[in-house]
Structure 1
Amino acid sequence: MSIITIGYLPIWETLFHEVYPPQRLRALAAEAALQEARISVLDLSDCDPAEGTILTHSVSAQGQISGRLPLPDVVFFLGTPTIGSTMDWQEPLIDWIKASRPHVADVGIEKTELRSVFTNSPCEKYLLPDAEVPKDQTAARVRAFALEQGGVVIKRSSSARGVGLFFILREQDHWVARFKQTTLRGTLDEAVDAVVSRIAGRLRYRDFLMQRHVRSVASDGRPLDIRVHVHKRPGGSWDVVRSYVRLAECGMPMTNISQGGYQGPLAGAMEHRSHRRAEEIEAEAHAAAIEIARQQDRSASCPLSELGIDFLIDEDDRLWLIETNTLPGSQLHEHQRAVFHIEYVRWIAEQGLSSPRPGGEPQFR
């Protein structure tokens, strides 16, 4: 088995260590050594297309070694492009790399795009009733949606790691507005006004989504959701890296680890559900996550390598899709993720294909 080289290129203002923190980098470096691969970080600020070289910070047992080297066998672009986010001098260099080497660019979709991607597919049954938060007559529209759905969650349309989540919930004879550790009780109008006043300024430059609130809780009443981390394998098929539950910190409405939440085994957390066995719930979550990944992959401009699929589970044990995440966190399963990641990248390098698809679909550079 020949040694392959893998380069990670942070672009679009992405910081490498935000995407690949030290524990993830160590896991990747260790697994790369086992699978006869070398990993490195690339720097666009010093490259020469005529020579085919780029400044490369190689990761090895001896530490980081920097120097101008030929382009690696496979390039991972890290970051999500936005209008005006790349500098004029970067764009031709990015085009040069894409034309020269197999590459992967995990670009996700915003929450407002979920319905258009999954409608009329087997995944449609997992979609929550939702709507974009309007920039005009915001309070009236949010109030109507909350009444119709019995409760609403308002969130940024782009991934925010649990930041900027607002809840408007009905509790017996009153309504509650919740955000972070703040709880405000009153009428529906008061709850809506409390939330809308906090996002009104941001609506001028950011899109928000409102979704039906689903009571997804553990046996002790803490908010709970399910994360299924899926990754492509050699051949381009999807498989589960790890599935687990996320529990909110006591008194918090968000389950995100970055907001103080906890992780735990999925099967154990599902043992005491009311309507379905743990094995049945776990099997459906895995199958649904793989099908969601397949469907999103088909619609992506550049095929994906991994996704974190988030579900709620309601009081009838029905699963609901919250969102899909590219480059999902893997703090407690870095090794499992690294095994999948390096295996898949080796396959790309051996095929000589950029973003290959399974099943004989068209390949492209």
Structure 2
Amino acid sequence: MSNRTIVLGIAVAAVKEAAGAEPAMPEPAFCRALSRAGAPLGIGVYVFAPDGYEPETGVLHAFRLEGGRWAKRAVPLPDVVYDRCFSSEPGQGIRCRSALAAMAERKPHIPLNGRLPGKLAVYDSLKDDPALSGHLPSSLGFRSAEQLLRLAGAHEGGIVLKPSSGMQGRGIVHIKRGQEGEKVRVNGRTRQNRPFAAEFEAGRPFARWAARFIGRRTYFVQPYLELSGADGKPFDVRALLQKGGLGDWTLSGIAVRSGQAGSLTSNLHGGGAAEPAAAALAAKFGGEESERLLEQIHTISKQTAIRLEGRFGRFAELGLDFGIEPDGKLWLLEANTKPGRSSFRMIGDERAERLSIERPLLYARYLSSRQYTSFAANESVNGRRVNAKFANPLRPFNVQEVHR
């Protein structure tokens, strides 16, 4: 492997600058941690936004950590790009993709992580896998308010309406018919992540609300699952699967996230809290059952990564969210290619937090040394090799692997 410094650019949607103030960027603690961890590994790290690139000249202005402070500098174009663009405003996603495409025309770079399509397309790619199908809630694309009323009446617990490209629990709604079927109760979170609850008459009043709430966005429908503990707080399990310096998948950490009592979601951005997975699951299900669940989560995580890479191409990391019903039934709820790490910091899992930062850097170095080139999502379908290796041998899940 070459001893040259690898240049890793962290792409973010925007960096706000003000005279005399520290630049305000998304995920500041994560960006700082990556910058500090990169130098000992021979990786130069900077943070850039789309407006920092000048296509006419090929000059990129980015932010480097110098003496503990962010300094804006003209920098060489990156060898590897770590896409952490989260769109909070219209057009941000397009601007990010356009800037990355223009930079690649000037100098090709390696995307660290791939992208997944909408959640319904991800479900369709997994549902035929025998190892996964029994752990996937049935999902249907939204078609009409009448469809919602019919499905809500067919499921005793009601249904959940989810945005296909949503994140952080935003825009998720639980819809349930009243006992007589004439009323419809809805509760969930707005697109601004504020909790709400309302009741409508079935028919036009509900249809008008659904049209306003959904708008032109793509939504899908799932049966409502009882994913709360005895305390009434919803909870899920976040597993962070990453590749490291050998290019194989490893579970970096796992945590239980609990929401507020009566809330629909357990996302940390919605006011939730995090707990160590082994202790939290043992308290809810007992020691023996919690070990079974953790092994199952590890096995399903591995198979999900293999399946998604076979369908959509190479990935560096996946955040997988699991729900567990009171009887111990495990559900795979979501796969995320831009996972957060804050839950590990909240539970004091220093090892998982460290690995979650180091492994993307090690994988970036691995990719650069192998001179991997990017490929489109459908190239794996056309027969190109997909890098979906796992550590050999892959041991069954061991709690000590994550929480020691």
User: How far apart, in 2, do the equivalents of 1:221 and 1:298 lie?
Assistant: 39
Match of 2:295 among 283, 286, 307: 283
AA paired with 1:296? Answer: L
Over 3 Å counting, the alpha-carbon distance change for 1:105 and 1:148 in structure 2 is same
Aligned residue for 2:94, secondary structure, equals: coil
Structure 2 residue matching 1:115: 3-state secondary structure: helix
State the 1:27 CA deviation.
1.5
User: Is residue 361 of structure 1 aligned with residue 385 of structure 2?
Assistant: yes
1:147 to 140, 153, 174: 153
Instruction: Say if 2:49 and 2:96, in contact at 8 Å, map to a contact too.
Output: no
Residues of 2 paired with 1:297 and 1:162: CA distance?
A: 25
Alpha-carbon deviation of 1:204? 3.9
CA pair 88-142 structure 1, distance change in 2 beyond 3 A: closer
Q: Return the alpha-carbon distance in structure 2 between the equivalents of residues 101 and 91 of structure 1.
A: 9
Say whether 1:315 aligns with 2:339.
no
Percentage identity across paired residues of the two chains: 21
Rounded Cα–Cα distance in structure 2 between residues aligned with 1:214 and 1:64 = 45
User: 1:343 offset after TM fit, Å?
Assistant: 1.2
Report the Cα offset of residue 67 of structure 1: 3.1
Alignment-derived partner of residue 100 in structure 1 = 108
For the residues of structure 1 that align with 2:356 and 2:291, how far apart are their CA atoms? 23
Residue 6 (structure 2) aligned to one of 4, 7, 14: 4
* Structure 2, gaps ≥5 residues long: 17-23, 190-194, 345-352, 388-404
Q: 1:279 to 1:31 in 2, by over 3 A?
A: same
| Structure 2 residue corresponding to 1:160, chosen from 159, 167, 170 | 167
CA 1:58/1:119 → structure 2, altered by over 3 Å: closer, same or farther?
Answer: same
Give the drift of 1:257. Answer: 0.7
Q: 2: CA distance between counterparts of 1:155 and 1:104?
A: 28
Opposite residue 4 of structure 1, the aligned amino acid is: I
**Does 1:110 pair with 2:118?**
yes
| Alpha-carbon distance, 1:33 to partner | 2.8
CA contact (8 A) 2:255 2:343 kept: no
The structure showing larger relative contact order (alpha-carbon pairs under 8 Å, at least 6 residues apart) is 1
Instruction: Between 174-183 and 42-51, report the one with greater CA deviation.
Output: 42-51
Query: 1:28: which partner in 2?
Result: 34
Cα distance change on mapping 1:57 and 1:222 into 2, 3 Å:
closer
- CA apart distance, 1:40: 0.7
Q: Sort the Cα spacing of 1:132 and 1:71 in 2 relative to 1 into closer, same or farther, 3 A.
A: same
Higher strand share: 1
Q: Distance in 2 between matches of 1:226 and 1:90?
A: 35
What is the alpha-carbon distance in structure 1 between the residues aligned to residue 205 and residue 160 of structure 2? 13
Tell me, yes or no, if the aligned pair for 1:166 and 1:179 is still in contact at 8 Å: yes
Q: Shift of the alpha carbon at 1:183? A: 4.5
Q: Check the 8 A contact 2:53/2:59 in 1, yes or no.
A: yes
**How do 1:241-260 and structure 2 match up within 5 A?**
241-260=252-271
Normalising by structure 2, report the TM-score: 0.75
Corresponding position: 1:297 with 2:309: yes
Other-structure match for 1:261: 272
Cα displacement (A) at 1:46? 6.0
Name the TM-score, length of structure 1 as normaliser. Answer: 0.82
